[in-house]
Each structure stands twice: as C-alpha cells, then as structure tokens.
Amino acid sequence: MQVIVINSQKGGSAKTMLAKHLSIEAERAGDGPVFLIDTDPQGSLTAWHAKRDSEIPQRAELPFEGLEKGLELLRYRGARYCFIDTASGRIEVAKELFKLADFVIFPIQASEDDLTAAPVTVQALKDAEVPFLFVLTRVKANTLITAQAAAVLSKHGEVAETFVNDRTAYKSPYPGGRTITEAEPKGPAAKEIACLWENIKSCLHENMEQSTEVRAHG
Ligand SMILES: Nc1ncnc2c1ncn2[C@@H]1O[C@H](COP(=O)(O)OP(=O)(O)OP(=O)(O)O)[C@@H](O)[C@H]1O
Ligand SMILES: [Mg+2]
C-alpha cells in the first residue's frame, strides 16, 4: 500500500478537492482498494464522504495517535492506496504525517501568496526526505503567472505535467455525493484528473525504483 499525504500549509489550495477526485480516479483506473483518511478538524472530506451513495472509495476513521497502527491494518486488509487529507496551517502535524507518507502531493495555486507560503512546506518535506510533487491547481488557461509559478516551483521539486484547471464543475454538488468526473466520465475534468493520476503514479514508481536501487547498492 502506498500512503499519499496531500498537504500544503496554505488554506484553500485544493487539498480536499484532490483527495476526493484522485481517490475516485484511482478506483476507476483499477488501482483500488483505495482508502481515505481525513485528518483536518474542519472535516470537509468526511462530510462529503457521508453524502456518497457509493461504497468506494472507503473512508477509515482513525485517531491521530492511532494512524500508524491503522495504516498497518489497512495494508493487511489489502488496500493499495491511502490518501490522507490534511489541514492547512499546522506544520507540526504535517511533519508527523510526512513520516508516515510514501509520497506527498503538494497542491498550489499560481499566486504570489501561495508561492510565498510554499517554502515552509518544502523545507519540512526535504527534512522528512519524502518524495513530493507540486500540483498546480485552479489554473486559468494560458496565463503567464501559471508558467512563472511552474518555473519557480521546478527549482524546488518536480511539478506535475498536468495542471488542474479552475472549473466550476469541481465545486458543484452532484446527486449522491458524486463528482463531476463520475457525472461526466468522458468530460474534460475526468480527462484532466485521469492524466494527473497517471503523472502521480509514474512519479511514485520512479521513486520506488530509486529507493530500491539505493537499498541494493547502499
Ligand atoms: N480546480 C478547481 N476549480 C474550481 N474550484 C476549485 C478547484 N479546486 C478547488 N476548488 C474549490 O476551492 C475551494 C478550496 O478547495 P479545497 O477545499 O479543496 O482546499 P483545501 O486546500 O482543502 O482548503 P483547506 O485548507 O481549508 O482545507 C473549495 O470550494 C473547492 O471546491
Ligand atoms: Mg481541505
């Protein structure tokens, strides 16, 4: 099982949005069973999950102190991916979660405020030696600031090739707690999220190969 923590210290960067859409995409792509864990006291992911008619992705409710043991249990139950949604502005908690992560998704908007806030998270990720990927979110097509943000971020870590566009559909409610990607599986949002999941998986695999090589030669 791969544990994927979604974190950035900036609020509203699309952590919860990515937890929802990527977990659904991973199941759709045949990469399940996928589990979700909500560590944000705001509970947005939990509230959304409670509205869902579908049984998947599953959500595990675990106390923070019991996370490590809980993850072991999910592994034992055959989970392949576990996405952990996190709160913004709680770097000490994030640092604990990075210790449990195989990979971290770092959602970020192409804005001056988001870029200014990024170094705190980047430093914590580097200290934890956990592989991570920047994902540009709420992107307005063909904007100079997006290209500039991608260029700045690429000096500090890998930036996902797929940018998540700003789409009203991502924030709109659908019956039964569905997402736009489920409501319109052939639509542009579904294609975008599918491409992003592919980017993330190839990054994960590259990192797994590298750590296997380090273990073999070190
Ligand atoms: N690509 C997008 N297009 C349009 N709206 C989006 C997109 N991504 C996220 N949103 C909306 O922006 C808002 C903030 O997103 P979200 O709640 O996922 O951020 P967050 O990082 O989890 O915030 P918090 O730090 O408060 O937990 C939500 O209303 C969400 O629906
Ligand atoms: Mg959130």
Helix ranges, 30-109 (H):
44-51, 67-76, 91-100
pTM: 0.96
For residue 212, the model assigns a pLDDT of 63
Atom of ligand 1 nearest to the CA of 40: 27
For residue 181, the model assigns a pLDDT of 98
CA distances, 29 to each of 57, 182, 185, 192, 196 (Å) = 12, 12, 12, 13, 12
Atom of ligand 1 nearest to the CA of 19: 18
DSSP E strand boundaries for 86-187: 103-109, 132-137, 158-159
Residue 17 Cβ < 6 Å to ligand 1: yes
- What tens digit of pLDDT does each residue of 175-192 get? 999 999 999 999 999 999
Q: What is the CATH number of the domain that holds 179?
A: 3.40.50.300
The rounded distance, in Å, linking the Cα atoms of 36 and 25 is 13
- What tens digit of pLDDT does each residue of 106-157 get? 999 999 999 999 999 999 999 999 999 999 999 998 899 999 999 999 999 9
Q: Which of 73-77, 97-101, 195-199, 210-214 has the lowest mean pLDDT?
A: 210-214
Q: How far apart are the CA of 41 and the centre of ligand 2, in A? A: 9
Q: Whose CA is nearest to atom 23 of ligand 1?
A: 12
For residue 89, the model assigns a pLDDT of 92
Helix (H, G, I), strand (E, B) or coil at 132: strand
Which two structure tokens, joined as six digits, stand for 164? 């998540």
CA distances, 174 to each of 143, 157, 165, 170, 178 (Å) = 29, 35, 19, 10, 5
For residue 205, the model assigns a pLDDT of 86
Q: Residue 140: left (phi > 0), alpha (psi -120 to 50), or beta?
A: beta
Residue 166 Cβ < 6 Å to ligand 1: yes
Q: Count the domains in the chain.
A: 1
For residue 217, the model assigns a pLDDT of 67
Range of the domain at 120: 2-217
For residue 214, the model assigns a pLDDT of 63
Helix ranges, 1-86 (H):
15-28, 44-51, 67-76
- 8-state DSSP, 135: E
Binning pLDDT at 50, 70 and 90, where does residue 209 land?
confident
The rounded distance, in Å, linking the Cα atoms of 106 and 9 is 9
- What tens digit of pLDDT does each residue of 61-113 get? 999 999 999 999 999 999 999 999 999 999 999 999 999 999 999 999 999 99
| H-helix or E-strand spanning residue 181 | helix 180-183
Q: How far apart are the CA of 17 and the centre of ligand 1, in A? A: 5
> Quick one: which of 13, 9, 5, 6 has its CA closest to 108?
13
For residue 206, the model assigns a pLDDT of 86
Residues with Cβ within 8 Å of residue 35, at least 6 apart in sequence:
57, 58, 59, 60, 74, 79, 81, 82, 83
Atom of ligand 1 nearest to the CA of 139: 1
Residue 199 has pLDDT above 70, yes or no: yes
Q: How far apart are the CA of 212 and the centre of ligand 1, in A? A: 35
To test ligand 1's pocket by mutation, which of 49, 171, 174 has the most ligand atoms within 8 angstroms of CB? 171
As a whole-number percent, the residues of the chain with pLDDT over 70 amount to 96
Amino acid at 1: M
Cis geometry, peptide bond prior to residue 131 (ω within 30 degrees of 0): no
